[in-house]
Structure 1
Amino acid sequence: MPGFLLNLSSTVLCVHAGQAKPSVPNLRVKAMGLPTATQGPPYIIAGCVNPPPPVNVGPCILGNWIVAALRVKSMGMPVLLMDSQAICVPTGTPLTVVLTQMRVRGM
């Protein structure tokens, strides 16, 4: 099933409400005039409130994408879709796509 592509205006959060943004936006493909994101580079997470050791493992720092588009690629890397899945480092919790552009779809 096709999903909407993630771009720089997409809202992506860790489960502890930290804001995630692509570390390297894809400047070649744009959706709604903004660069999209691909699976390769991780997302950088800021504002995660997960407590540091010894209470917990600490705040989410990076989000590594493990599921992305199957058919749509840019510069050899799969683009990220609204239903793509990522795991945060060091917590192992998922990233959640809350909002994205609603014009360009991929599969």
Structure 2
Amino acid sequence: MSGNLLHVNATITCPHGGQATISPAQTRVLVGGQPVATLADVDTIAGCGFTVGSKPQPCVTVRWVTPSGRIRVNGSPAILNSSVGLCQSAEQIPQGAPHVVVVQQRAVGL
């Protein structure tokens, strides 16, 4: 599945509107002047207001399930805008798929 390479300043949200931030594991490979996002990165979410009953269950992390099958950055698979991910609560409860809203348009991968 092809798609544009994600970089650390791509806009990613959880299904409930929380904003994801990518903390890069590598800073050597750049696209648009920003480090390329990889499976080794830590993706955290802030501002999710999801509540089940009376207990808050906000999304706090993104776990990417299908990264690039061909592109590796320092040995770790790159993340594409077409990659499938899963937002999770602090208890690792699946909350839904993240939405990639804004991504660079120049570098495409498989």
Instruction: Establish whether TM, by shorter chain, passes 0.5.
Output: yes
Aligned to 1:16: 16
Aligned to 1:100: 103
- Matched to 1:39, the amino acid is L
1:62-101 CA distances to partner (integer Å, 9 max, x unpaired)?
Answer: 1111111010001111100010111111241111111100
In 1, are the aligned partners of 2:49 and 2:56 still within 8 Å (CA)?
no
Q: Secondary structure at the match of 1:64?
A: strand
Give the stretch that moved more between structures: 82-91 or 63-72.
82-91
Identity of aligned residues (%): 33
Q: Secondary structure at the match of 2:8?
A: coil
Aligned to 1:49: 49
Shift of 1:41: 3.0
Aligned to 2:60: 61
Tell me the TM-score normalized by structure 1.
Answer: 0.89
1:83 aligns with 2:86: no
Tell me the TM-score normalized by structure 2.
Answer: 0.86
Q: Please, which runs of 5 or more residues in structure 2 have no aligned partner?
A: none
Q: Distance in 1 between matches of 2:31 and 2:54?
A: 41
- Matched to 1:63, the amino acid is V
In 2, are the aligned partners of 1:9 and 1:101 still within 8 Å (CA)?
no
Aligned to 1:31: 31
Q: Secondary structure at the match of 1:63?
A: strand
In 2, are the aligned partners of 1:50 and 1:56 still within 8 Å (CA)?
no
Q: Please, which runs of 5 or more residues in structure 1 have no aligned partner?
A: none
Give the stretch that moved more between structures: 19-28 or 77-86.
19-28
